[in-house]
């Protein structure tokens, strides 16, 4: 339950129009929610919403792998001063188009997520800074950091570089969290890094930039109509990022204290289902897309739960059941199968790492 900073909500999106103009933003939809109350297991959920399949695959990537942040597949996209590194930690990730991690957790319990942000601007290339193609932004953090603080220090001198794949630019912002419950959100606005670093930074959607989402949060907290919420509390019900932010914030405050990991996982999946975009409605006509998958990560037990919306089952992988030590083979699992469900750790198969 969210007690230390009570999350309230405005009475409908009309009240937000002057502060957060929806018409000025695209509405590609993803949502991230962190559940990090002291003394409990730390969990995070996300939805992936996209105009087409991202061809998601799960990869177990051992420590010791060498990476080149200047390449996008076989193509060199950062010709000058590319960032190159060797993974310190193994990780389990969900990839998009086999070009980079968009979701995942490492063996130390650091997790992260890339979400769309219209206003992303990494700035003109500064060749004095190591360049990292944006599709590997998250992977670099998972490979090399054990905590949010370590990740921020590692990422500070690095410049993400915009790429385009499958007709889509990597206009993304990055959320990271660790097993202590720490949290950070990194955005590039006008070519400058904007960093929000606090365990209180729990709910994040796409647009607007996170600073404006915090303005919305303050408005929600000050609305007397929602200090004592009830079943009659009016909630915005559309699928745009602002409405999803409000619903995720509102319902997160009611999460019950879980008795088991199963209880906690189910509770988080219920929040992510509430902010998902149902399949089949004509949302593409106004720039919002169906939810392709939902994930929940238990950072305390290093367990990755995954559910394609077209598959009726949830699968899970405990990182402790994988060999992620240096020298171990990389492994993969295609989650697109009606028989994929339950503990799938034994269903991974060796693969050449895609990046």
Give the catalytic positions in this structure: 30
Residue 108 corresponds to which tokens in the numbers above?
């130390």
- Collapsing DSSP to helix, strand or coil, 82 comes out as strand
Q: Going by C-beta distance under 8 Å and a sequence separation of 6 or more, which residues neighbour residue 324?
A: 60, 61, 62, 63, 89, 90, 91, 92, 107
Alpha-carbon gap, residue 66 to 312, rounded angstroms:
36
* Exposed / middle / buried, residue 18 (Cβ in 10 Å: 0-12, 13-18, 19+): exposed
- For helices 261-274 and 241-252, give the axis angle rounded to 10 degrees: 150
Alpha-carbon gap, residue 56 to 155, rounded angstroms:
25
- Are 342 and 74 in contact by the 8 Å Cβ rule? The answer is no
- Are 60 and 107 in contact by the 8 Å Cβ rule? The answer is no
Nearest to 255 by CA among 104, 42, 103, 11: 42
- Are 46 and 275 in contact by the 8 Å Cβ rule? The answer is no
φ, ψ dihedrals at 244, nearest 5°: -65, -35
């Amino acid at each position: 339950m969210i007690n230390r900073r009570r999350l309230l909500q405005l009475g409908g999106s009309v009240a937000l129009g002057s502060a957060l103009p929806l018409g000025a933003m695209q509405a590609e939809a993803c949502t991230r929610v962190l559940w990090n109350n002291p003394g409990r297991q730390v969990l995070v959920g996300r939805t992936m919403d996209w105009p087409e399949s991202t061809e998601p695959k799960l990869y177990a990537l051992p420590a010791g792998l060498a990476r080149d942040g200047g390449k996008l597949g076989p193509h060199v996209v950062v010709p000058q001063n590319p960032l190159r590194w060797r993974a310190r930690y193994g990780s389990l990730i969900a990839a998009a188009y086999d070009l980079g991690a968009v979701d995942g957790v490492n063996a130390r319990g650091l997790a992260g997520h890339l979400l769309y942000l219209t206003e992303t601007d990494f700035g003109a290339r500064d060749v004095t800074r190591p360049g990292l193609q944006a599709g590997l932004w998250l992977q670099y953090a998972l490979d090399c950091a054990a905590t949010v603080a370590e990740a921020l220090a590692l990422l500070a001198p690095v410049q993400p570089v915009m790429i385009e794949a499958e007709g889509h630019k990597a206009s993304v912002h990055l959320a990271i969290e660790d097993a202590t419950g720490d949290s950070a959100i990194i955005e590039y606005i006008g070519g400058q890094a904007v960093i929000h670093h606090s365990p209180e930074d729990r709910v994040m959607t796409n647009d607007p930039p996170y600073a404006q989402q915090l303005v919305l949060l303050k408005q929600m907290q000050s609305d007397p109509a929602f200090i004592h919420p009830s079943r009659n509390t009016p909630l915005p019900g559309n699928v745009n990022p602002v409405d999803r932010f409000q619903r995720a914030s509102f319902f997160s405050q009611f999460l019950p204290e879980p008795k088991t990991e199963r209880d906690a996982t189910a509770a988080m999946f219920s929040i992510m289902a509430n902010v998902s975009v149902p399949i089949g409605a004509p949302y593409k006509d106004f720039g919002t897309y169906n939810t392709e998958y939902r994930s929940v990560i238990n950072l305390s037990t290093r367990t990755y739960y995954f559910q394609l919306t077209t598959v009726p089952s949830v699968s899970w992988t405990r990182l402790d059941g994988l060999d992620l030590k240096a020298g171990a083979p990389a492994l993969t699992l295609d989650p697109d199968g009606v028989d994929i469900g339950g503990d799938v750790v034994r269903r991974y198969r060796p693969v050449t790492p895609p990046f």
